[in-house]
Homo-oligomer: A and B are copies of this chain.
């Protein structure tokens, strides 16, 4: 059985998706949610899921933010975006957020089913019109991204130096020796870095710093 969740604020469209899935006996819709917040709550209690069909336009937490949050906490869960809008920005942001596929809601049942199966087999799935847009986005990089997404975070040069050594896998003591400081100071720098980047461990700090081109 393929365990699926549907996230959409529109009851009518939720029903439409349910109908499409009802043709296939090996798909079980474990639950539905009306926005990202509700999805995360329900996942807390039951993340015994394979895949999420996610709308984008939703109140409270939209599908892109939700995708980011889910992928961060449950990287093994597959997510297919299922939305009526196909503008470049949504597609781009969804991919960035970690979506595994992107369908328009007008997709027919069989294609949707195939897409789900392919995604679970480690592939990606999208309607042709979306695929074309994806290729174009790849050919001409940048655009909304970068400027929009990049937050205003500044690290001091010392902090960057520490972070760079951290990213090599060095321990606090080793970094302290390298920079002729006490280990306590390194720890304080790291602490300040975490606060600035709003993260709670090395890995996240390094990843966030890299995505913001700080290191």
Which A residues are closer than 8 A to B by beta carbons? 47-48, 71-76, 161, 164-171, 174, 177-180, 199, 201-204, 206-207
Contacts and interface: CB of A to CB of B under 8 A. Distances in A.
A180 B48 contact: yes
Nearest to A201: B169
Contacts of A206: 203
Contacts of A179: 76
Main secondary structure of the interface of A (DSSP, over half): helix
Nearest to A203: B169
B207 A47 contact: no
A74 B169 contact: no
A206 B206 CA distance: 12
A168 B72 contact: yes
B76 A169 contact: no
A202 B167 CA distance: 11
B164 A75 contact: yes
B73 A161 contact: no
Contact of A203 (B71, B72, B161, B167): B167
